[in-house]
Chains A and B, each alone.
Chain A
Amino acid sequence: MSLNEVWEAASASPFYPLIAKDSQLTVGFTLLLAAFLLTGLFGLNRSLLSIASFGVPAALAFGFGAVFMICAVGVYV
C-alpha cells in the first residue's frame, strides 16, 4: 500500500487538536490562573493533605496550562 493510498483512505479522519487554536489562550490562561490560586491555597497550609487536595490539581493545571499558553503565544510545541 503506497503512502498516497494511506492518505486517501484516511480522508474521513483529518486531525483536529484537543483544543482549537482560537481557544488556546482562554484555556491556557484559565488553567494557569487556577494553578496560581491553588498554589496559593497550598502555600497557606503545607500539609500532606494539601498536596493531595491543592498541590496535585495545581500541578496538573500548570502542566496543561503551560502547554496551551506556549501554543497560544505562537510557539507551537
Chain B
Amino acid sequence: MRPFTALSALCGLFLSASSFVGADSTTSPSRVALPRDFKPPQVFKNANLVRTSNLEKGYLRETVNVVVENVDTQPQSDYYLSFPSDLYDKVGALEVRDKTAPENGRFDVEATEFSPGSDFQYFIVHLPKPLAPSSQITLGISYAVLNSLRPRPAAISQNDRQFLAHSFSAYAPSAYTTVTQKTKLKLPSTSVPDYTTTDLTSGPDPQRQGTTYTYGPYDTANVAPGTFYPINIRYEFTKPVITASLLERDLEVSHWGGNLATEERYWLRNNGSKLTDNFSRVEWTISSYQQLPSSSIRELKYPLKPGSVDPYFTDDIGNVSTSHYRPGKVPNREGSLEIRPRYPIFGSWNYSFRIGWNNDLSAFLRRAVTGADSYVLRVPFIEGPKVAEGIQYEKVVVRVVLPEGARNVQYETLEKSSSNGLPSASQIHSHISSYKTFMDTLGRTTLTLTVEGLTDEARDSQLLLTYDYSLWDSLRKPVTITAGLLTVFVAAWAVGNIDVSIKKR
C-alpha cells in the first residue's frame, strides 16, 4: 500500500500548494448618520444655478451647474446637496465635478442615512481643496432619477399615444440660498398637452423654443432654501419606459480556453401606461405591419463587441427563436444581436430572459509588465441594449469569474473627463468569493460588484481588474485529473497483486 500513501500525499500537495483565495473581502457603501432635524450650516451661497432636465429618455437625467460662493469667514469643504425625500432613494449615478476643470476627476460624494421625518435628504460633496472665504467654485452636478416619471393617463388602449408626467419645483432644491436660477427642460417631442405657467417672471414663463422649455430665470435671493413651487408638465412619450428591476451580468475568464464568456440575465418591466382592455393580437399585428409607434417593447438591439460569437437567447421556457445575430468583424465592426421577446411588453408587464455570447480573451486580457504572473483585464462594466428611449436599471450585479487560484484581485472603474454613468467607487458594493463549477477543486475567484440606480449611459464604462495567477495555478486542473486516473491505475495494479486463490499457504 505504499504507492497509495505516496499518491495521496502527492494529491494533498497539489491541492494545498498555493494560498487559498476563499477568504471573503467585502466593501459596502457607507452612509453618514446626521442628527435628527439636521440643517446644513449656511456657509455657502449659490450665486447662479442652471438646472437642465433631460426627459428625452424613459428616465429623468439632470445636470445642475451651480456657482458656489463661500460666505463664511472660514474655508469650507463640505457642500450639502439636497434632494426631496421622495426622490432621494431614486437618485443614481450621481457625479460632481469642477465645471471649469472636469478633467481633474469627480469629487468624493457621501450619502447620508435616510432621516424619516425630514422633507429633504442630503448628499455631502467633499471639495478636494477647502474653498476660501468669498471665493467661488462652479460645480457640475449630474445624476439620473429612476422611476420618477408617471404615465398619465395611467391606462390607455393598445394603439393610443402615451404621455408621461413630470412634477418638480420651479425652485431647484438646495440647502443654500440661491441668487438666480433657471430650469431648462428638454422634451422628446413638441407634443406637450399640459404644462404649468407661472407669474414668477415679468415675461412669459416658461419660454418655449422647439422641444426646450425654460422656467426662469428667477431672482431667488429672498426665497428661503427648500421653498416648493409646483410645476407639472405632461408630454408625449409613445415609447416603452424600459426598466430592469435586476440585471445580473457574469463575465467568465478562461485561460485554458482563451475565452471570455458573457451572460446577462434581465428582469424587465415596462413602466408605461397599462392597457385598459385585453391584449388584441389582431390590432397588434396590424400596428406592427404599419410600424406605428407603440408603448410596448417590441424588439431590443444589442451591439456586441467585434468578434463576439455563439450568441444565445433563452427564457424560462427555453430557446427563443425570434432573434437574429449579425456578426461583426475584428477589429472594428460591432456585431448586432436583435432579440424579440415572446410577446410585446406593454405597461406593467414583465419579461425575464437571458442572453450570452463568447469572445476571444486576447482582446480583454493582457500580461501585466509589473509582475511575471500578473494579469490585467479590461471589460465593459455593462453592455445592454442600445435603444433611443433608454433603459433604467434599478439594480445591477456584475460578477467577474476569474480562473481558479487567481488572487490579489484589485479593480477600478475607468474614469473619463465626463461622466461615465457610474457612481463613485465608494458607492459600489464589492465582494470577493469562491465559485465552484466544472473541473474545480478550490473554486474560482469571483469578484461581485453591486450597483443600484444605473441607466444605459453606463454602457461605455469600463471595468479594470488585475490579478495574480501562476503557472502552477493554471496546471491545477489537468494535474488533478491526471492524479485521479493514475490512482485508478495504481489501484488496478494493487488489486491485481492481491492473491485470492484458495490453496494452502
> Is this pair of chains taken from one and the same complex?
yes
Q: Does B4 sit at the interface, judged by CB under 8 A?
A: no
Q: A7-B464, A16-B258, A17-B361 in contact; A76/B252 too (CB < 8 A)?
A: yes
Contacts of B310 in A (CB 8 A): 74
Q: Cα distance A16–B486 when bound, in Å?
A: 30
Q: Cα distance A55–B489 when bound, in Å?
A: 6
Asked whether, in the complex, the Cβ of A51 is within 8 Å of the Cβ of B490, the reply is: yes
Shortest beta-carbon distance, A71 to chain B, in Å?
A: 4
Kindly identify, within residues 53 to 74 of chain A, every residue whose CB is under 8 Å from any CB belonging to chain B.
55-56, 58-60, 62-64, 66-68, 70-71, 74
Residues of chain B at interface, number, CB under 8 A: 48
Q: Cα distance A77–B256 when bound, in Å?
A: 7
Shortest beta-carbon distance, A64 to chain B, in Å?
A: 5
Q: A10-B368, A14-B362, A71-B254 in contact; A3/B464 too (CB < 8 A)?
A: yes
Contacts of A76 in B (CB 8 A): 252, 254, 256-257, 259, 261, 358
Residue of B nearest to A13 (CB): B367
Asked whether, in the complex, the Cβ of A77 is within 8 Å of the Cβ of B439, the reply is: yes
Q: Cα distance A51–B259 when bound, in Å?
A: 35
Q: Does B237 sit at the interface, judged by CB under 8 A?
A: no
Q: Does B152 sit at the interface, judged by CB under 8 A?
A: no
Kindly identify, within residues 32 to 50 of chain A, every residue whose CB is under 8 Å from any CB belonging to chain B.
35, 39, 42-43, 46-48, 50
Residues of chain A at interface, number, CB under 8 A: 45
Q: Cα distance A48–B438 when bound, in Å?
A: 32
Contacts of B252 in A (CB 8 A): 76
Shortest beta-carbon distance, A2 to chain B, in Å?
A: 7
Q: Does B190 sit at the interface, judged by CB under 8 A?
A: no
Secondary structure at the B interface, as helix, strand, loop or mixed, is mixed
Q: Which of B258, B360, B365, B490: most chain A Cβ within 10 A?
A: B258
Q: A3-B412, A3-B466, A16-B258 in contact; A58/B366 too (CB < 8 A)?
A: no
Q: Cα distance A42–B358 when bound, in Å?
A: 40
Give the A-binding residues of B (Cβ under 8 A): 252, 254-259, 261, 310, 358, 360-363, 365-370, 375-376, 378, 410-412, 414, 437-440, 464-466, 477-483, 485-486, 489-490, 492-493, 496
Closest 6 CB pairs of A and B: A17-B258, A63-B482, A76-B257, A76-B254, A71-B257, A10-B366
Contacts A7-B366, A13-B367 known; list 18 others, CB within 8 Å.
Answer: A3-B411, A4-B464, A6-B369, A10-B366, A15-B362, A15-B365, A17-B255, A21-B259, A35-B485, A39-B489, A55-B493, A62-B485, A63-B482, A64-B482, A67-B481, A70-B439, A76-B257, A77-B440
